[in-house]
Amino acid sequence: MDTKTSLTRTARTLGYAGLLPQILCLGLTVSGHEYAYTAMAGGFAYAAAIFSFLGGMWWGQAIQSGRAGAGTYLIAVLPSLIAVALFLPWSFGWEWPGPALLFLGFLILGSPAVDRALGYAQNDFMRLRMILSTGLGGLTIALGFASMQLMQRSLAV
């Protein structure tokens, strides 16, 4: 078992704390709080920012490795482009944010597969990534379902 770690306790603690905004957004949405609609938008913005951050992380790891090709950099810019594309339905007044949150949540859940494919991340970092991506991806998916349910209830009234 690999006992060497490149992550400090502070890095791990702050990583886990990064789940708190999505937990708060989900709680406000599920409870039907007066800020539920703001929480949905905030939850989308937070998940989109983190997804974009992951692309930036891949870009930085690629540069640091000194062995990345053009495909790696293309992969690294996709999260930001996808996040913007998932925001567009709201801009046009289409159904949002539920479906966008679902897509975003599943993309975050799958993002560690990109880390593995790129091969730049250390094992201890990958363990943390798996936990945090499962957490944020799952919370974002739950927020998507809660958003769709809240929207259906508001339309039925």
Quick: pLDDT tens for 35-83.
999 999 999 999 999 999 999 999 999 999 998 999 999 999 999 999 9
pLDDT number for residue 134: 98
pTM: 0.92
- Residue in this structure with the two tokens 């400090």, named with its chain if needed: 8
Residue type, 116: R
Quick: pLDDT tens for 123-145.
999 999 999 999 999 999 999 99
Q: Is the pLDDT of residue 30 over 90?
A: yes
Q: Is the pLDDT of residue 3 over 70?
A: no
Q: Is the pLDDT of residue 92 over 70?
A: yes
3-state secondary structure the chain: CCCCCCCCHHHHHHHHHCCHHHHHHHHHHHCCCCCHHHHHHHHHHHHHHHHHHHHHHHHHHHHHHCCCCHHHHHHHHHHHHHHHHHHHHHHCCCCCCHHHHHHHHHHHHHHHHHHHHHCCCCHHHHHHHHHHHHHHHHHHHHHHHHHHHHHHHHHHC
Q: Is the pLDDT of residue 91 over 90?
A: no
Hey, how many other C-beta atoms are within 10 angstroms of the C-beta on 85?
11
Residue type, 4: K
